[in-house]
Amino acid sequence: MIVDFCSYNIRGLHNKISFAKDFLSHNKFGIAALLETHVKKEDAAFYSSIVAPKYKWLFNYDYHNNGRIWVGWDDTIWHVTLIDASAQQITCEVKHVDGGSSCLLSIIYASNDGVLRRHLWTKLTNLHQRYNSSADMPPWCLMGDFNIFLNSFETNGLMPRRQGYIFEFRTCINDLGLVDLRYHGAVFTWWDGNISAPVLRKLDRVLVNDTWLRTFDLSLANFLPRGLSDHNPATVYLGIVRDTIHKPFQLFKHLMDNEQFLSTVQQAWEDPVIGDKWFIVTTKLKRVKLALKNLNTSGGNLHANVLSARNALLNFQGLLPMAPSHAQRTEEGKLSNDLRRALLLEEKFLKQKSRVRWLNLGDGNNKFFYNSCKGRWNANKILNIYDEDGNNFTGHKNIASVAVSYFKN
C-alpha cells in the first residue's frame, strides 16, 4: 500500500532530527506535514533539508512566529500549489504528476485556545464558499491536529467544562459537509504523558467531503504509533493503483569504498556453478548483485540499532490498549529511552563523519550534478502517449505497450 499523505504533530524537532528523518524516509510519503516543530524561521530551511532533503517545503511563518505548520512534498510525485495559509492551516491544491489524481488538501494545527479556533472555523467556511460559488466543490481532505474532539467516547476523561467549543467544531464540519474518513489504528490519538492516570483524547483526525468519497472511494486513513511524540501520525491512502517501476541495479562508488566490498564480491563469485560458460557467468553475476544489495542494505551497526529500537517502540505502541496500565506506560518509557540513546549515538557518529568529510565533499559539485540529472529526468519523462488512432494512454505499462506496438508495426 502506498501512503500518499501524512500529518504528524511531532512536538519539537530539535532533539528528534534523526527520528523524523528516519520516519519520513522509511514511509516514503508523497506529501508530509510536520506540526509544532518549535523551529525558528531562520533555521527552517536548514532543518527541513536534513529531515527530508528530496522534499520541497511550505511554511506558515508569515502568519505565526513559530511556524507551526510545515508541508513538504516529493515533486516527482505531486504538484503542489498554495491556495491559502493562516496561523492554523495551510491549504493547497495537489495534483499527481500523471494527471490522474487531484484534490484540495488542508493541513490543520488548531489553536488550543477555543476562542482562537473560531478563526479557523471561519477560514474553512470561507474556503468552502469560495469553491462552491464558482463550481462543484473539488475533493477536499482536512487532516492534522484539531485540538478538540467531537464526542464523549473520544476521551477517557471528563468532558471539558466549556462544551460549547465542541458544539462549534461539530457545527463547522456539518456546515462544510465533512465526515471522518474510515480509518485503522488508534482511536485516541493524544495522551498527556501522565503514566499513573493518563488522559487520552482523539485530537487528530482526517475529514473529507462527499466529493472526495465519490472520487476516492477506496481511500483509507491510518493512525500510526506515536513514536517519540504524544500524538499519533495521521496518514491517508488514496486507494489508487499505480504502476510500480523496478529500477535496474546500479553500483555506486560509496559501496565500492566499503571495506567488505572486495571480500563480498570474491566470496559470491567463487561459489561453484555447474553448466555452460554463459550460464556460469550470468549466474555468478546475479549472485554478486544479490550479495552487494545485501551489503548496501546492512546499514552498519549504529543504524541497525536505531531501526531495531524504533521498531520495538512502534510495535509495542501499536499493541497498547486504549487505556494502558501503569506497567505498560513504564515499559513504553523504557523503549522510548532506548530509541533516544540509539539516535544519540548515531547522531554523534554522523556529525563526526560530516566534519571529517566536509573538505572533500562539502565544497564539491554534488548539488550541481544532482540538479542536472534531475532536470534531464524531468525533461525526458513521458507521462502520456497517443497511439496511431489518437487514443491517449497514461501509466508506465500502457505507455510501454503502445511504444512496443508502434515499433513492431
Instruction: Establish if 307 belongs to a structural domain.
Output: no
Q: Find the domain containing 398 and state its range.
A: 368-408
pTM for the complete prediction? 0.67
**Phi/psi at 233 (nearest 5 deg)?**
-65, 140
Q: What burial class does residue 297 get, using C-beta atoms within 10 Å of its C-beta: 0-12 exposed, 13-18 middle, 19+ buried?
A: exposed
Same domain, 149 and 286: no
Same domain, 83 and 109: yes
From first to last of the 409 residues of the chain, give the pLDDT tens digit.
567 999 999 999 989 999 999 999 999 999 999 999 999 999 999 999 999 999 999 999 999 988 899 999 999 999 999 999 999 999 999 999 988 789 999 999 999 999 999 999 999 999 999 887 656 789 999 999 999 999 889 998 777 667 889 999 999 999 998 999 999 999 999 999 999 989 999 999 999 998 999 899 889 999 999 999 999 999 999 987 666 666 677 665 556 767 788 999 999 898 888 888 999 999 999 999 998 888 766 655 667 888 889 999 999 999 999 889 999 999 999 999 999 888 876 766 555 454 444 444 444 444 444 444 444 554 466 767 889 888 988 777 888 899 999 999 8
- Centre a 10 Å sphere on the Cβ of residue 103 and count the other Cβ atoms it contains: 23
Q: pLDDT at position 370, please? A: 42
Output the CA angle 143-149-154, nearest 5 degrees: 110
- Centre a 10 Å sphere on the Cβ of residue 79 and count the other Cβ atoms it contains: 14
Q: How many domains does the chain have?
A: 3
Q: pLDDT at position 90, please? A: 98
Alpha-carbon dihedral angle through residues 346, 348, 350, 354, given to the nearest 10 degrees? 180
Same domain, 214 and 279: no
Same domain, 256 and 166: no
DSSP 135: S
Same domain, 135 and 195: yes
How far is Cα 191 from Cα 231, in angstroms, rounded to an integer? 7
Instruction: Establish if 335 belongs to a structural domain.
Output: no
Task: Write down how long the chain is.
Answer: 409
Instruction: Establish if 340 belongs to a structural domain.
Output: no
Q: Please, are residues 234 and 7 in contact by the beta-carbon 8 Å criterion? A: yes
Q: pLDDT at position 359, please? A: 40
In the chain, what's the furthest Cα-to-Cα distance?
A: 82
Q: Which three cell numbers stand for residue 195?
A: 503514566
Give the model confidence (pLDDT) of 89-103 as tens digits: 999 999 999 887 899
Q: Please, are residues 217 and 211 in contact by the beta-carbon 8 Å criterion? A: no
Q: What is the CA radius of gyration of the chain?
A: 25
Q: Please, are residues 91 and 84 in contact by the beta-carbon 8 Å criterion? A: yes
CA 309, 312, 318, 319 torsion-angle sign? negative
Q: pLDDT at position 241, please? A: 66
Instruction: Establish if 92 belongs to a structural domain.
Output: yes
Same domain, 155 and 267: no
Q: pLDDT at position 361, please? A: 41
Q: pLDDT at position 358, please? A: 41
Instruction: Establish if 283 belongs to a structural domain.
Output: yes
Instruction: Establish if 395 belongs to a structural domain.
Output: yes
Instruction: Name 75's Cβ contacts closer than 8 Å, sequence gap at least 6.
Output: 56
Q: Which three cell numbers stand for residue 403?
A: 511504444
Same domain, 148 and 228: yes
Q: pLDDT at position 394, please? A: 76
Q: pLDDT at position 8, please? A: 98
Same domain, 258 and 397: no
Same domain, 256 and 372: no
Q: Please, are residues 30 and 73 in contact by the beta-carbon 8 Å criterion? A: yes
Q: Which three cell numbers stand for residue 24?
A: 519520513
Same domain, 275 and 394: no
Q: What is the b/e burial string over 177-212, where b = at least 16 CB atoms within 10 angstroms of the residue's CB?
A: ebeebebeebebbbbeeeeeebebbbbbbbbbbebb
Instruction: Establish if 321 belongs to a structural domain.
Output: no
Q: Which three cell numbers stand for residue 306?
A: 536505531
Same domain, 229 and 103: yes
Same domain, 231 and 271: no
Nearest CA among 315, 321, 113, 299 for reference residue 226: 315
Q: pLDDT at position 45, please? A: 94
Instruction: Establish if 343 belongs to a structural domain.
Output: no
If DSSP codes are grouped into helix, strand and coil, which group holds residue 43? helix
How far is Cα 195 from Cα 63, in angstroms, rounded to an integer? 35
Q: Which three cell numbers stand for residue 68?
A: 507551526
